[in-house]
Amino acid sequence: MGTGKDERENLLALAQAGGISLASLSDMIGRNPSYLQQFIRKGSPRKLEEQDRRVLATFFGVDEAELGGREPGVREKSYMKPRAAPLRADWVEVPRLDVGASAGPGALPYAETPFDAFRFSRRWLAEQGLEGAQLSAITVEGDSMEPLLRDGDEILVDRSPRPFRDGVHVVRLGDTLMVKRVASQGQGRLALLSQNLAYPPVEVSAEEVEIVGRVVWKGGRI
């Protein structure tokens, strides 16, 4: 069996090498976000449960012995083996940014600092045509995009460099970050359109506005 300290150091090294947070790994094995942090820093629990260790070892492609399991070549009796947990390893973390995109009269953005993350199935992203997309999540503020987007909705913004096409985008106009339907008007002009008819269209020069990214998904309370 492992020494306790070694298996904790091994797990921390694997997580750091893969750029994966301990909170995400804890979630992957169905534990609370601080579970593996406590295991590594405080030695609580003293050792990983068999099922958790197997999922983590499979995810990192290492022998279970590195995480406190039996040494390679030592076989367990079949009746000792728990039912294998379903793997949830093939996920993509999308940062949630501390930024509000105004869907109203406009607002100054906060620092674009991740404070959390969403996890999306890599397969689902591929099905949506978003494989390899540069995604981040921000919050909608205001009512100008209702009923399409409501105040408090969170949206996925694809910042990948792509040729412009009409659609819902997050744009920066001066110091203001906004989410609007953007339509080309020809001759280097763009129209920033609201879904809420109480807000009139705004026409600007394409040079005045920065297209931050295209809105590709939304989530919010019912």
CB atoms within 10 A of CB 180: 26
Between 214 and 47, where is the model more confident? 214
Q: Per-domain residue ranges for the chain? A: 5-80, 91-219
DSSP state of 70: P
**% the chain with pLDDT above 90:** 33
pLDDT at 56: 85
Query: Cα–Cα distance between 103 and 34 in angstroms, integer?
Result: 35
For residue 87, what pLDDT band results from cuts at 50, 70 and 90? very low
Mean pLDDT of the chain: 81
pLDDT at 71: 54
DSSP 103-148: SSS--------EEEEEEEEHHHHHHTT-TT--EEEEEEESSTTTTT
Residues in the chain, how many?
222
pLDDT at 216: 95
Report, as an integer, the average pLDDT of 169-175: 90
For residue 4, what pLDDT band results from cuts at 50, 70 and 90? low
For the domain spanning 91-219, the CATH number is 2.10.109.10
Query: Cα–Cα distance between 22 and 11 in angstroms, integer?
Result: 9
Task: Read off the pLDDT of residues 56-73 as tens digits, 9 standing for 90 and up.
Answer: 887 777 888 888 876 554
pLDDT at 103: 54
Residue 110: pLDDT over 50: no
Between 184 and 108, where is the model more confident? 184
Distances (CA, A) of 204 to 54, 129, 132, 171, 172: 57, 30, 31, 12, 12
The answer as to CATH 3.30.420.40 being correct for domain 5-80 is: no
pLDDT at 53: 87
pLDDT at 2: 46
